[in-house]
Amino acid sequence: MKVSTILSKPKYIIVSVIAILVGCLMLFATSAAELEREAESDYSEGWTTNHRELVDVDDINTGDSDGYIVITKTLPDRIKTDDSLCFVSANTSITVYVQGHCEYRFSQPENFTGFGYGTAYHSVKLSPENEGETVKIVLNASFKNGSGGRIRMLSIEDSRDYFARLAKGQILPFTISVGIIIIGILLLIIRLILPRGRDRGDMVALGITAVITGVWLANDTGFFRMVLNAVIFCRVVDYVCEHILIFPLVGFVYSITHERRRLFIRIQTVLAVFDAAFYLIMRFVFGYDMTDLTPEYFVYIACSILLVIVMLFSDHVYCRKNDIESESRFFSMGIIFFLICCAIDIGVFASGAMSITGHAPFMRIGFYVFFITMGVETIRNWIHEQASIRRDRFINKMLQYAVSANDPDISIRAIMKYFGTEFSADHVYLYENRRDGTFHTTYEWFREGAPLPASDEYHDIPYEGLIDGIYDRFNEEHRLIIRNREDAKEISPALYDLLTRINIRNMVIGPLVAGGDLIGLFGIDDAPDDSSNEISDLIWLMSYFITQLIFQRDEWRNLERFGYIDSLTGAHNRRALDIFEKEHAEDYPYGFVMCDINGLKKINDTVGHDCGDDLIADVAACLIEVFGTDRVFRLGGDEFVAYSFAETEAEFDKQAETLRGLLYTRQRSASIGCVYVKDDLADRMKVKKRAEELMYAEKEEYYRGNNDRRRE
């Protein structure tokens, strides 16, 4: 984005004007506080140095006197009880003498950054007895080269008034600095609560950069030093923030580019690691003060700026080549505004209007506007991104359900629930072709609290007279949208009658087709009107995967049938019996039946095994007819067991007699042992043993009736 384009937009001009006004207000507040101090209690002028020069303390620098200066002056005749000698120092140890007596000493030990400590605030208690006495201040520079030591803003007044005046001059810069911190924290919080989707690294990087920058600028106002008196801590924070600020800022620029060449972030990582290693080695191995390494720090900044320029240019070329709208133009806008603010600060500094504390008011405004602009733009891009990827996310979720679950039944139900929940529908359903001229609802999902259909007749719908009337619409549009029940009159009177009877307001339904064969229908009822088109598109897109899940489910059922069903008889096998007994271990009362076929060996030997198989199948069919498929189990060649959950023993006995009657009707013979259990006091193994005894007793009776047991 060109500068002329930015400045031509009214909103940018308004923001620029407001920022300049706020910067001027900060500068005015600082200057006003200084003017107020000078008018009421200034004590900076008229000091005599150890070289017998008359000086203003604001002009003193230890670098001009080989790191050591002594200044003296006579105290005025207007000292009050609460007065103190107040001043601000930078990077110098201080000793204050009043009439030859040492009243105050201040020095700081060597620290993480070196020998300097930055800025410190002092007050030396005075009393009316000190009026007219001589005060002497000895300054020894903290740095080995003797430079940088100075004092400023010296006053005689109540220390509380002095610090309150300084704080008042910095309250606006401090507030703006805290505002930058809050912006960063809000960006990080927003990122934490955002739904998972595309990685928003730009928001994280911008938030971290804003927090670090805000802490750095807030520390620069001197508030922390005045309130906490943590001089060394604030000094360390100042240097640490300066160095770690660059990496997340470059990371933010990287995250808003579309090209995202990892080479750039690797280069910046190398630069950051080299910068940290260089400073630590020079500081702790060679004993350099970090202040002496400022030129090297500017080299690190210059390299990082050059990397950002190359990164933005490369991304610009990439976006033009691929016809992509670049997001970095908003970054360029923020940077241009920030540089303008910095240029204003440079002019202010050159004019001599800058205070010892609270540097660069316009730079603060530049940072503030930059982070607000970038934060708003980042959030706006995320909102637009969410709107554009909602459909893709929905499809991806459906595909995830389609392939992730081990059970296709679970996948189909999960897809239906997700459809209904996402679109606030009342009813989602799946019809399957029964191959008998009807379609049956095999799966359904209802929204909690939604009204149920007024009739159950929708569970089975005929092909002729209903589905065939809308089949042509399926062939043409791959879907059918009924936005209002009345619209169904012209499409299919039979469908309109059905919707009226079960009280459905609107419907979106699509065919499930495989190889030209209509195997089912997938539909949604009573969803919001404005979502009908989106629902129909998604049903059409997902129909293939739902069809595949149905086929997969059928294959699973066949595999399950082979694993738990006896292929000859259709009864369950011994594995299924173990599962059944575990699932029904607490179910009482129940009846247990043990059945053993009579004469199977004789038929196999005399007529053949095919006839023997027919005998086994017939006996199994009789058991299944009485007790149900799920409760009959084949244990071996001619042995079966069955369970009954008849509520009374009489009912169970009737079932046993029915079984005997069916066997007699089919001219089949089997020995049967039946035991009815009323409560859980009976051990299951004992029940089985008793049934087996009864069965063998009946078999013995069978053998005594002129049947050769050895041949059967």
Per-residue pLDDT tens over the stretch 179-191: 889 988 988 888 8
Cis before 10 (ω within 30)? no
List all residues 6 or more positions away from 431 whose beta carbon is below 8 Å from its beta carbon.
Answer: 439, 440, 441, 442, 461, 520, 521, 522, 523
Amino acid sitting at position 604: N
Neighbours of 666 (CB within 10 A): 13
Element (H, E) at 331: helix 328-350
How far, rounded to the nearest angstrom, does the alpha carbon of residue 678 sit from its chain's CA centroid? 56
Q: Please tell me the least confidently modeled range out of 151-160, 323-332, 372-381.
A: 323-332
For residue 139, report the phi and psi dihedrals to the nearest 5 degrees. -110, 125
Q: What is the dihedral of CA 36, 37, 40, 41, to 10 degrees?
A: 180
% of the chain at pLDDT higher than 70: 87
Q: Is the Cβ–Cβ distance between 355 and 221 less than 8 Å? A: no
Residue by residue, DSSP assigns 517-581 as EEEEEEEEES--GGGHHHHHHHHHHHHHHHHHHHHHHHHHHHHHHHHHB-TTTS-B-HHHHHHHH
The mean per-residue pLDDT over the stretch 264-283 comes to 94
List all residues 6 or more positions away from 570 whose beta carbon is below 8 Å from its beta carbon.
Answer: 620, 621, 624, 629
pLDDT at 12: 47
Per-residue pLDDT tens over the stretch 409-442: 888 888 888 888 888 899 999 999 988 899 999 9
Rounded Cα distance, 353 and 257, in Å: 40
How far, rounded to the nearest angstrom, does the alpha carbon of residue 109 sit from its chain's CA centroid? 46
* Whether residue 622 has pLDDT greater than 90: yes
Q: Is the Cβ–Cβ distance between 510 and 480 less than 8 Å? A: yes
CA atoms within 13 A on the CB side of 333: 23
Mean model confidence pLDDT for the chain? 84
Pairing state of beta strands 460-462 and 480-482? Answer: unpaired
- DSSP 8-state assignment for residue 465: I
Closest alpha carbon to 379 in 242, 612, 514, 206: 206
* Whether residue 54 has pLDDT greater than 70: yes
Closest alpha carbon to 24 in 344, 352, 498: 344
Closest alpha carbon to 232 in 120, 81, 126: 120
Query: Where is pLDDT greater, at 17 or 159?
Result: 159
Rounded Cα distance, 581 and 591, in Å: 13
Give pTM, 2 decimals: 0.54
List all residues 6 or more positions away from 677 whose beta carbon is below 8 Å from its beta carbon.
Answer: 588, 589, 590, 591, 592, 687
Q: How confident is the model at residue 356 (pLDDT cuts 50, 70, 90)?
A: very low
Amino acid sitting at position 669: S
Q: How confident is the model at residue 135 (pLDDT cuts 50, 70, 90)?
A: very high
* Whether residue 19 has pLDDT greater than 60: no
How far, rounded to the nearest angstrom, does the alpha carbon of residue 687 sit from its chain's CA centroid? 57
pLDDT at 389: 65
Rounded Cα distance, 245 and 215, in Å: 10
Most confident of 295-304, 480-489, 686-695: 686-695
